[in-house]
Amino acid sequence: MLKHDWQTQLKRAISNPIELWNELQLDPQTLPSAWRVADNFALRVPRGFVERMEKGNPNDPLLLQILPQAHELIAYPGYSSDPLNEKQSNLIPGLLHKYHGRVLITLSGACAVHCRYCFRRHFPYEQNTPGRAGWGRIFDYLKANSSINEVILSGGDPLMIKDEALMGFVSNVQAILTIKRLRIHTRLPIVIPERITAELVNLLSRTRLQTTVVIHCNHPNEINQAVIDALDSLRRSKVSLLNQSVLLKNVNDDSKTLIDLSERLFDAGVLPYYLHLLDHVTGAAHFEVSEQKAQWFLAEMIKHLPGYLVPKFVREIPGALSKTPLSIDPAACAAGSDLITQ
- Whether residue 2 is predicted with pLDDT greater than 50 in this model: the reply is no
Residue 1 inside a domain? The answer is no
3: confidence class by pLDDT, cuts 50, 70, 90: very low
- Let me know whether 69 and 138 are in one domain: no
Q: Give residue 1's pLDDT.
A: 42
Pick from 48, 73, 98: which residue ends a domain? 73
Residue 61 inside a domain? The answer is yes
pLDDT tens-place string over residues 137-168: 999 999 999 999 999 999 899 999 999 999 99
Pick from 52, 73, 94: which residue ends a domain? 73
- Let me know whether 133 and 12 are in one domain: no
- Let me know whether 56 and 164 are in one domain: no
- Let me know whether 57 and 110 are in one domain: no
- Let me know whether 159 and 21 are in one domain: no
Residue 261 inside a domain? The answer is yes
- Let me know whether 181 and 300 are in one domain: yes
Binding residues: 111, 115, 118
Strand partners, 220: none
ω into 134 cis (within 30 of 0)? no
Mean pLDDT in residue range 188-193: 99
- Let me know whether 168 and 94 are in one domain: yes
Binding residues for [4Fe-4S] cluster: 111, 115, 118
Residue 81 inside a domain? The answer is no
pLDDT tens-place string over residues 60-77: 999 999 999 999 999 999
- Let me know whether 258 and 227 are in one domain: yes
Check which CATH number belongs to the domain holding 334 and give it: 3.20.20.70
Cα 121 from Cα 109, distance rounded (Å): 10
pLDDT tens-place string over residues 78-134: 998 887 777 778 889 999 998 999 999 999 989 999 999 998 888 777 776 777 888
- Which is it for strands 240-246 and 150-155: parallel, antiparallel or unpaired? unpaired
Residue 273 inside a domain? The answer is yes
CB neighbour class for 29 (10 Å; exposed up to 12, middle 13-18, buried from 19): exposed
With beta carbons less than 8 A apart as the criterion, state whether 226 and 48 touch: yes
| Residue 148: domain span | 86-341
Residue 97 inside a domain? The answer is yes
Pick from 47, 73, 99: which residue ends a domain? 73
Structural domains in the chain (count): 2
Mean pLDDT in residue range 25-35: 92
Residue 79 inside a domain? The answer is no
pLDDT tens-place string over residues 280-318: 999 999 999 999 999 999 999 999 999 999 999 999 888
Share of the chain above pLDDT 90, in %: 80
Residue closest to 189 by CA, chosen among 238, 235, 151, 250: 235
Mean pLDDT in residue range 211-229: 99
